Amino acid sequence: MDRIRIVGGNELTGTIPISGAKNAALPLMIASLLTDDTLTLENVPHLADVEQLIRILGNHGVDYAVSGRRERQGEGYSRTISFTARNIVDTTAPYELVSKMRASFWVIGPLLARMGEAKVSLPGGCAIGTRPVDLFIDGLQALGADIEVENGYAVAKARNNRLTGNRYVFPKISVGATHVLMMAATLARGETVLENAAREPEVVNLAECLNAMGARITGQGTSTITIEGVDSLSGARHRVIPDRIETGTYAMAVAMTGGDVLLEGARADLLQGALDVLSRTGAEIIPTNSGIRVLRNGSGIAPVDVVTEPFPGFPTDLQAQFMGLMTMSKGKSKITETIFENRFMHVQELARLGAHITLSGQTAIVEGVSKLKGAPVMATDLRASVSLVIAGLAAEGETVVNRVYHLDRGFERLEEKLSRCGAVIERISG
């Protein structure tokens, strides 16, 4: 099993190309199930989750072709992938596939909309909480689906073989459920209105793609999305937005170590809430025509309190990274997690590096220390793993991060990007 070895203490200087967003690419790929034409996606990141979803879509009969830069060729690493679901050969998504990635449950929406039926394994729990699918099921039932849970599967059928538009109010904001209901409603009979919908940039990116395919969606980026159903969708060519979580992660790494880095291709509008918080820590954030420049001139890191919130607030997917940064702040900070339970599993691993963190319910109180010391640590999930990398970049001596397969799910060639900016970091295979 691969590990990442870091020797801390170096500032970061140079350019880091920002990859396409994993959280945008996955629903866009799933949208290919809605049409028998080809959907071509540009700027698709090379990640373990993307490769797993390609396998899952292949199980349903989706063909794909990759063009553009391949592995270890040039900077940026982006690929263009074309997906063609001309013939859906299977409307069942089995447990052995869905259990490996929760987002694969989202195929239930497009399959139900296009084929009138779907049988999808329930994804079960995960390291950062139960993340139930009740909102998905309730919303699809509101669109006229009959859904039963049998032997760990959601078995869904559309009445009269087609979904029907309706008004649905999300009892709580859910990005995944917004993706699924928006996709399902594109082929429903009549109008669907989704209220209290997620406003995240990834939702907007999906809506723009669906509209390019012939859907009629308005209101994306607001809490009320309206979808006028159409009889069929066509193919399209669409670009995945740059990854705002990767952008925020590398910005926090620069704030942690000091230095001056251009995050090439990053868009400030996708994470302004997080950048505002980062500015308050003492980092300088400068949007440019080519990306976002982040620098810290060696001054101390100021403590800042944050509360995770749906977009446009501070993202839960940057909470662990921000905690890593706060471990060396000059004071005490409070980090409150409101989106997921059990998302403080990185606390004990940061403590192994010398961090002083206490937990009180869903709030972590971080008392900054003057130095961290390298140690072997264990990644527990995707975002927790990269918080350990951030801490290791500033720690004295050697830090070895184990279970880096978590990192490979969401960060494209992290060690290569950081090493080009002066970090002493390498992957150890086996």
Catalytic residue IDs: 126
List the beta bridge partners of residue 424. Answer: 7
Closest CA to 111 of 32, 193, 197: 32
In angstroms, rounded to a whole number, what is the distance separating the alpha carbons of residues 282 and 64?
Answer: 45
Residue length, the chain?
430
Q: What are phi and psi of 72, to 5 degrees?
A: 65, 30
Per the annotation, binding residues are 22-23, 102, 131-135, 317, 339
φ, ψ for residue 208, nearest 5 deg? -65, -40
Tokens 């209290």 -> residue: 196
**Which residues contact residue 114 at a Cβ distance below 8 angstroms, ignoring those fewer than 6 apart?**
33, 34, 35, 88, 187
**CA 232 to each of CA 167, 189, 228, 376, 421: distance values in angstroms, whole numbers, following the listed order:** 21, 11, 12, 54, 48
Q: Which residues are annotated as a binding site for phosphoenolpyruvate?
A: 22-23
φ, ψ (nearest 5 deg) of residue 245 = -75, -40
Q: Most distant CA pair in the chain: distance in Å?
A: 66
User: What are 22's two structure tokens?
Assistant: 């994993």
- Binding-site residues for UDP-N-acetyl-alpha-D-glucosamine sit at 102, 131-135, 317, 339
